[in-house]
Each structure stands twice: as C-alpha cells, then as structure tokens.
Amino acid sequence: MNTIVSQAVEEVNTLASTRNGEHIATGEIRKLSARLYRKIEDKTIGNILDLCEELLEERSWALGVIAFDWAYRVKKQYDENTYDVFYGWLKKYVRGWGDCDDFCTHAFGELLRQDKSLFKKVKQWTGDEDFWVRRASAVVLIPAILHNDYDTIAPFEISDALMSDQHDLVQKGYGWMLKCLSQVDMEEVKIYLIANCKKMPRTAYRYALEKFDKQTRSELMKLYGISCNKSAGDKEDKYAEDKQ
C-alpha cells in the first residue's frame, strides 16, 4: 500500500475512534483530503488515479470521499482515457447514494462537461441493470446544467429513458436533474412536466418542481393531483441534492 494511502487509512480510523460510533462529518474528511493531497509530490493524473484506486479498494465511505476529491483535483489533466477509469469506478465501487452523487456532481460530471461527446455513452447507462448507474445517468449531467454549459447534452432524453424506472433512487435522481435544469430553463421544464404529468412518478415530479415559484408549483401540483399541503406521512427523504 502506498504511504499516503496508508496515512489516509490511519487518520480516518483515528477519527472514527474518537466519535464513539457517531458518523464522521463529511467536512472533516474533506479537510483531511486537502491536507493529504498537498503532501503528494507526484500529482500527475496517472499517479493520482492510481492512489484513488487504492483508496477505493478499501471499500470505506470516508476513503471514497478522499478518492473522489483527489480525482476532481486533477480535472485539468483529464484526457481520452479518463472515461474508462471513471466508468470502471462507477460500476465497481459506487454502492451508495453519497458515493454516486459526490462522484457524479464533481469528477465525473466535470469530465462530461469537458467532453460532451461522452453523452452518447451516458445515455446507455439508463438501461443498466445496476440502479446506481441508472441514477448516475441523470446526476452526472448536473454540473454541466448548473454551469449552463450543456450544448449537445439532452437532459430530457435521459428523463424520458428513466421515466418508468421503478427504483425510487433513480426517480429522485432524474427529478433532481430536472430541478437543476429548471434553474436555468424553467419554461422548458414546465412544458415538460405538463406534458408528462400523467406518467411521471410522483417522487420524480415532486423533486422536479421544487425550484418553481409558489404559484407555478401549486398549479403543477394540482395538475398532477397532489395536494398543496403535505400530509404528515409525506416527508421527503434528505439526500445530497437537498444541499446543492
């Protein structure tokens, strides 16, 4: 094991031992990640991604945060080989919504923003048997969307492909993507929601309309048949997108 990876493992274990079983804050891990990254002498993309792979092999949430952070830090060095590395990580290591959203809204999403021709490959993810990959097909578009830099990327093609997906995390994923799209093109998203209100799952629909003004949101909810007042049992799960 590389020395810096060993140090990361040791320091994460030390942090965990002081928490009495409580979860370590993501912010603490990111501070540790930044400090350890500064110690790496060889910051070429090949070396950094090799270190990230070692971290990911540990199958630790905290070490995964560090790995995805380091991968994002070398974004200026991304090249034609980076997609294969990142896709391999997505298939092999992403096993939680935190992993999926962190990776896709930073390193992998930035790669797509830099090379939009990769969208053709992303569209294929919508048919993957792994629901994390299907969720990723929507979430990975978010950086490009929020930067209003998604020419040749077609978000609605992804939501169309995922429209009938039965997994709630996939529904929340493309609903979140549509919510972000509404921040840069609200009218198009409104038209899309009206056109699809009879077939879009409630979960995706609710996520998608969160950024609309109160009146428009009320109109869209009534169109779908959702009461404007949440019932006590209608509480949204709090995922990473709630903090974006």
Please state the pTM of the whole predicted model.
0.89
Output the pLDDT for position 234.
41
- Structure confidence at residue 227 as a pLDDT band (50, 70, 90): low
User: How far apart, in whole angstroms, are the C-alpha atoms of residue 161 and residue 152?
Assistant: 17
Q: What is the pLDDT of the chain when averaged over all its residues?
A: 91
- Interval 79-134: pLDDT, tens: 999 999 999 999 999 998 899 999 999 999 999 999 999 999 999 999 999 999 99
User: How far apart, in whole angstroms, are the C-alpha atoms of residue 27 and residue 12?
Assistant: 13
Provide the CATH topology of domain 87-230: Leucine-rich Repeat Variant (1.25.10)
Q: What residue ranges do the domains of the chain occupy?
A: 1-77, 87-230
Task: Tell me: pLDDT of 148 over 70.
Answer: yes
Amino acid at 187: E
Sign of CA dihedral 60, 63, 65, 70: negative
Q: What is the CA radius of gyration of the chain?
A: 19
CA 43 centroid distance within chain: 25
User: How far apart, in whole angstroms, are the C-alpha atoms of residue 72 and residue 52?
Assistant: 11
Q: Which two tokens stand for residue 44?
A: 């070429």
